C-alpha cells in the first residue's frame, strides 16, 4: 500500500522488495570507509507523536538520489530529516487530526478516518510532512531494519511533479504471478493542489502479463483483499496533452486497476478520483477497472465490487474514457458501478465515453458475469463534448444478477457536436433494465439515440432534446417508454418506439405535458399501448404531423383514441394499428395515409474485417430474419462481440508504460 505521493514506486511481493532494497543498501556500504574520529551523534527524534513540517527546504525536492527509510527518515543531498509513525486510532487518535489538525469536511467525505485508517492493513504507516513537495526523481524506498511497509507523503500546500516534463506516477504491481496476501492500497492524498506537467498515473496491476509488446504471459497476479486506487487533492491539475489508445498509451490523467489476463482479486476494486475544486487535463483522461479477457488469456476475477468514482466541481479534459471491462468471461462478484458526480461543468474536447462491457461473442466465448447491479451515473450542471456515449453491453451471454441502469442528470445545457447515445444491450440478461434522464437541455448536432434491445424502462423526466435525429426505442415484450415533460425536436427524424405486442409491455406513457417537433418528416409513435394520462396534453408542433401506431390508444377519441383517458394530442395526428410503422432506423412518411415504398438500407462494406464485425453484431429478429443491431455512430464505437483489439480489450502492463524502464528492470 502506498499512501501519499510518489514517483515510480513499485510494490510487488513484499519479500522481493525487501531483498531488492537490502541488496541496494548493502552495495552502497562497500567498500568499507576509512575510520574517522568519533563524533557525538545527534539524538534521533522519537518515531511517534504528531508530525511536524520538515523545514530543511521549501519546497522539499525528492530526487533519484533521495533515500526514504520507513524507520522513518528521509535523506536528500546528504541532509537527513525525520518523519513519524502513525500506529492507529487507539494509540494516536484519528489520522486526520494527527496529521492535519482539525478534521476537514473533505476528510470526512472521503472517510479517511472511518474507513481507510480503520482498516488494520493500513497501519502502522510512516509519514513525512512537508510545507510543499516537489517530485523530481525516483527515490529509493528502504523498509529494512524494522521499517513499516506503509508510506505517506504530505504536502500541506500541494505536491508537484517538478520541472516541465515531470511525470507523476504511483503504482503497485503483482503482474506475472506476483502476490499480495492482504490489501493493495495505492493512495495519493494531498491537502493542497496536485500539479504535474507531464501527466498523472495512479494504478494497480494484477495481471498475468510481464509485457504486452511483445506479449509475454506468465500467470495471473493475486491480491487477497481489496485493491484501491485513491487520488484526492484540492485541485488535480496537469498540463499534459498526452493522448492515444486507452490502456496502451500514456494518458494525461489515469486512475486504473488492471486484473485482466487471469488476475485475481479477493475483495473490491475501487478507483476513486476526488477534487475539492477542479480537475484539469488537456490530454486524455482514462479511468478503468479492466477485468476482461485480454488477448484470450482469460478474464479476471473480482470477488466484491468494481467501482469507478470521479468527483469535483468542474472537470475539463481532452477525450474521456470511464470504463469497466468484464467481457468474455470476466467475473465481478457484486456490483459494477461508474459514477461521475460534478457540482459544476464537464468539458470534454473529444469523445466522452462511459461504458460497462460484459458481453460474450459468437465464437463461443461466454459473457461476463456481474453478481449484482451494473450502474452508470453521470451528474453535472452542464456537459460539453464532441460525442457522448453511455453504454452497458451485456449481449451474447452476459449475465447481470441485479439491474442494469444508466442515469443522467443535468441542470444546464448538454451540448454534443456529433452523436449522443445511451443504450443497454442484452437487457434480458439482467433482472431489470432502466435508462433515466432527469432534466437537462440536450443540443445534439447528430443523432440522439436511446436504446434498450429487450425489456426495460426508459424515462425522460423534464428533458428537452433538440437533435438532427431523435430515436428512442425499447424492443422487449415488457418495455416501457415514459415521457414526463420537456420538448423533443428533430430536424430530420423523430421516432419513439416500444413496439412489442406480446407480454404486458410495449408501452409509451405520457405522464406530463410535452411538445413534439419533427421538421422534415412525420413524427412516429409506435407501441402496443400508447397512453396520455389524465390532465396531460401532447402538443404536436405547428409545422409537424405525427403518426401513431398502436393497438391500445389510451387517449381521447378526438385523436383516434379509445377514450380510456380524457386527454389528447393537440395538432395533426393520425392513429392506426401497430404493425404499419416504418422500421426504427428508416425515414418516416409525412402522413400516415400516404405511405411510400422506401428502399432497403444500404451497408457499405470495404473489407472482410468489417463484414466479420457486422456478422458478430447480428442477431435473429422475431420474424427469423437476421438483423444487425443499431450501433453507435461515433468513431470510437466498439465492435460488439468481436475478439479484435479494441478499447474494451486493451491492457497496458506496467513494463510497457513505465518511464525510463525502471519497473521493467525490476520485473525481469
- Report pLDDT digits (tens) over 221-240: 999 999 999 999 999 999 99
542: in domain: yes
Task: Name the band, by pLDDT with cuts 50, 70 and 90, for residue 667.
Answer: very low
Contacts for 486 with CB less than 8 Å, ≥ 6 apart: 460, 461, 462, 463, 464, 465, 514
Q: Are 129 and 196 contained in the same domain?
A: yes
* For residue 125, pLDDT beyond 60: yes
| pLDDT at residue 470 in the model | 98
DSSP 304: S
534 closest CA partner among 508, 551, 513, 559: 513
Task: Name the band, by pLDDT with cuts 50, 70 and 90, for residue 268.
Answer: very high
Q: Are 187 and 300 contained in the same domain?
A: yes
Q: Are 505 and 543 contained in the same domain?
A: yes
| pLDDT at residue 475 in the model | 95
DSSP 114: I
Q: Are 646 and 586 contained in the same domain?
A: no
Q: Are 450 and 503 contained in the same domain?
A: yes
Q: Are 315 and 270 contained in the same domain?
A: yes
Q: Are 235 and 291 contained in the same domain?
A: yes
Burial code (b: 16+ CB inside 10 Å, e: under 16) for 7-26 equals bbbbbbbeeebeeebeeeee
Average pLDDT rounded to a whole number, residues 11-23 = 28
| pLDDT at residue 108 in the model | 72
Task: Name the band, by pLDDT with cuts 50, 70 and 90, for residue 146.
Answer: confident
**What is the distance in angstroms between the CA of the first residue and the CA of the last residue of the chain?**
22
Average pLDDT rounded to a whole number, residues 238-259 = 92
Burial class (CB in 10 A: 0-12, 13-18, 19+), 279: buried
617 vs 106, residue with greater confidence: 106
| pLDDT at residue 42 in the model | 62
518 and 493 Cβ atoms separated by less than 8 Å: yes
Q: Are 554 and 597 contained in the same domain?
A: yes
580 and 607 Cβ atoms separated by less than 8 Å: no
586: in domain: yes
Query: Whole-angstrom Cα distance, residue 646 to residue 635?
Result: 12
Q: Are 537 and 640 contained in the same domain?
A: no
pTM: 0.77
Task: Name the band, by pLDDT with cuts 50, 70 and 90, for residue 491.
Answer: very high
Query: Whole-angstrom Cα distance, residue 300 to residue 220?
Result: 8
Query: Whole-angstrom Cα distance, residue 404 to residue 192?
Result: 38
Q: Where are the alpha helices (H) located in 29-75, listed in sequence order?
A: none
| pLDDT at residue 197 in the model | 84
Number of domain units in the chain: 2
Query: Whole-angstrom Cα distance, residue 317 to residue 324?
Result: 20
| pLDDT at residue 342 in the model | 98
* For residue 12, pLDDT beyond 60: no
241: in domain: yes
Q: Are 561 and 658 contained in the same domain?
A: no
Q: Reduce the DSSP state of residue 78 to 3 states and report it.
A: coil
| pLDDT at residue 22 in the model | 24
| pLDDT at residue 329 in the model | 94
Average pLDDT rounded to a whole number, residues 533-552 = 93
Q: Are 341 and 448 contained in the same domain?
A: no
Among 86-100, 384-398, 536-550, 592-606, top mean pLDDT goes to: 384-398
287 and 255 Cβ atoms separated by less than 8 Å: yes
Average pLDDT rounded to a whole number, residues 564-589 = 88
Domain, as residue range, for 570: 444-604
516 and 540 Cβ atoms separated by less than 8 Å: yes
Q: Write down which residue in 560, 583, 604 finishes a domain.
A: 604
Q: Which helix (H) or strand (E) holds 666?
A: helix 662-667
433: in domain: no
490: in domain: yes
| pLDDT at residue 634 in the model | 37
278: in domain: yes
Q: Are 565 and 649 contained in the same domain?
A: no
* Mean pLDDT of all residues belonging to the chain: 82
Average pLDDT rounded to a whole number, residues 370-390 = 98
Percent of the chain residues past pLDDT 70, beyond the cut = 79
What would you report as the CA-atom Rg of the chain, rounded to the nearest whole angstrom?
28
| pLDDT at residue 144 in the model | 72
372: in domain: no
Average pLDDT rounded to a whole number, residues 196-218 = 86
Reading the block at residue 179, the C-alpha cell is 502476490
Q: What backbone phi and psi angles, to 5 degrees, belong to 655?
A: -65, -30
521 vs 110, residue with greater confidence: 521
310: in domain: yes
Percent of the chain residues past pLDDT 90, beyond the cut = 56
Query: Whole-angstrom Cα distance, residue 451 to residue 389?
Result: 12
The single residue listed with the C-alpha cell 502479463 is 209
Q: Write down which residue in 557, 584, 604 finishes a domain.
A: 604
* For residue 128, pLDDT beyond 60: yes
Amino acid at each position: 500500500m502506498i499512501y501519499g505521493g510518489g514517483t515510480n514506486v513499485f510494490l510487488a511481493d513484499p519479500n522481493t522488495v525487501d531483498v531488492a532494497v537490502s541488496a541496494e543498501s548493502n552495495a552502497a556500504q562497500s567498500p568499507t570507509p576509512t575510520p574517522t574520529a568519533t563524533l557525538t551523534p545527534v539524538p534521533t527524534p522519537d518515531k511517534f507523536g504528531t508530525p511536524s513540517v520538515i523545514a530543511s527546504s521549501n519546497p522539499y525536492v525528492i530526487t533519484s538520489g533521495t533515500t526514504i527509510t520507513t524507520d522513518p527518515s528521509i535523506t536528500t543531498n546528504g541532509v537527513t530529516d525525520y518523519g513519524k509513525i502513525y500506529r492507529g486510532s487507539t494509540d494516536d487518535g484519528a489520522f486526520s487530526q494527527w496529521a492535519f489538525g482539525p478534521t476537514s469536511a473533505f476528510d470526512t467525505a472521503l472517510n479517511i478516518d472511518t474507513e481507510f485508517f480503520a482498516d488494520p492493513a493500513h497501519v502502522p504507516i510512516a509519514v513525512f510532512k512537508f510545507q510543499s513537495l516537489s517530485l523530481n526523481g525516483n527515490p529509493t524506498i528502504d523498509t529494512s531494519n524494522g521499517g513499516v511497509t506503509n508510506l505517506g507523503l504530505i504536502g500541506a500546500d500541494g505536491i508537484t511533479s517538478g520541472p516541465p516534463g515531470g511525470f507523476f506516477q504511483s503504482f503497485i504491481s503483482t503482474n506475472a504471478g506476483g502476490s499480495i496476501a492482504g490489501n493493495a492500497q495505492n493512495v495519493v492524498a494531498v491537502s493542497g493542489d496536485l500539479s504535474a506537467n507531464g501527466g498523472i498515473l495512479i494504478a494497480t496491476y494484477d495481471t498475468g502479463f510481464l509485457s504486452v509488446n511483445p506479449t509475454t504471459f506468465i500467470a495471473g497476479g493475486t491480491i487477497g483483499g481489496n485493491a484501491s486506487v485513491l487520488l484526492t487533492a484540492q485541485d488535480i491539475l496537469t498540463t499534459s496533452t498526452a493522448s492515444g489508445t486507452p490502456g496502451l498509451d500514456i494518458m494525461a490523467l489515469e486512475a486504473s486497476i488492471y486484473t485482466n489476463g487471469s488476475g485475481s482479486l479477493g475483495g473490491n476494486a475501487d478507483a476513486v478520483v476526488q477534487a475539492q475544486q477542479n480537475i484539469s487535463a488537456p490530454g486524455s483522461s482514462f479511468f478503468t477497472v479492466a477485468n476482461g479477457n485480454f488477448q484470450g488469456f482469460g478474464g479476471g476475477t473480482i470477488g466484491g465490487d468494481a467501482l469507478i468514482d470521479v468527483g469535483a466541481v468542474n472537470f475539463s479534459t481532452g477525450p474521456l474514457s470511464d470504463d469497466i471491462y468484464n467481457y468474455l468471461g470476466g467475473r465481478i462478484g457484486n456490483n459494477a458501478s461508474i459514477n461521475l458526480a460534478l457540482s459544476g461543468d464537464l468539458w470534454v474536447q473529444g469523445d466522452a465515453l462511459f461504458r460497462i462491457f460484459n458481453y460474450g461473442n459468437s465464437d463461443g466465448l461466454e459473457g461476463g458475469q456481474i453478481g449484482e447491479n451494473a450502474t452508470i451515473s453521470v451528474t453535472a450542471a452542464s456537459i460539453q463534448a464532441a460525442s457522448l456515449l453511455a453504454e452497458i453491453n451485456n449481449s451474447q451471454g452476459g449475465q447481470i444478477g441485479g439491474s442494469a441502469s444508466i442515469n443522467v442528470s443535468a441542470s444546464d445545457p448538454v451540448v454534443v457536436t456529433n452523436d449522443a447515445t445511451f443504450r443497454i444491450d442484452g437487457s434480458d440478461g439482467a433482472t431489470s433494465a432502466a435508462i433515466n434522464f432527469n432534466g437537462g437541455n440536450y443540443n445534439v448536432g447528430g443523432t440522439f439515440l436511446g436504446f434498450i434491445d429487450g425489456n426495460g424502462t426508459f424515462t425522460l423526466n423534464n428533458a428537452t432534446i433538440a437533435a438532427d435525429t431523435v430515436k428512442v426505442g425499447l424492443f422487449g415484450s415488457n418495455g416501457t417508454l415514459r415521457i414526463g415533460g420537456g420538448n423533443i425536436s428533430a430536424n430530420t427524424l423523430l421516432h419513439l418506439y416500444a413496439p412489442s405486442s406480446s407480454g404486458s409491455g410495449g408501452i409509451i406513457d405520457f405522464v406530463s405535458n410535452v411538445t413534439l417537433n419533427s421538421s422534415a418528416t412525420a413524427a412516429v409513435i409506435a407501441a402496443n399501448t400508447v397512453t396520455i394520462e389524465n390532465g396531460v396534453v401532447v402538443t404536436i408542433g405547428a409545422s409537424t404531423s405525427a403518426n401513431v401506431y398502436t393497438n391500445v390508444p389510451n387517449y381521447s377519441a378526438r385523436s383516434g383514441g379509445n377514450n380510456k383517458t380524457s386527454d389528447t394530442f393537440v395538432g395533426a395526428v393520425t392513429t392506426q394499428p401497430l404493425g404499419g410503422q416504418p422500421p426504427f432506423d428508416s425515414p418516416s412518411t409525412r402522413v400516415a395515409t400516404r405511405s411510400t415504398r422506401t428502399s432497403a438500407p444500404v451497408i457499405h462494406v470495404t473489407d472482410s474485417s468489417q463484414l466479420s464485425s457486422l456478422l458478430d453484431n447480428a442477431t435473429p429478429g422475431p420474424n427469423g430474419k437476421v438483423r444487425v443491431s443499431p450501433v453507435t455512430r461515433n468513431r470510437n464505437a466498439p465492435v460488439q462481440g468481436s475478439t479484435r483489439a479494441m478499447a474494451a480489450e486493451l491492457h497496458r502492463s506496467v513494463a510497457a508504460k513505465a518511464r525510463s524502464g525502471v519497473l521493467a528492470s525490476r520485473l525481469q
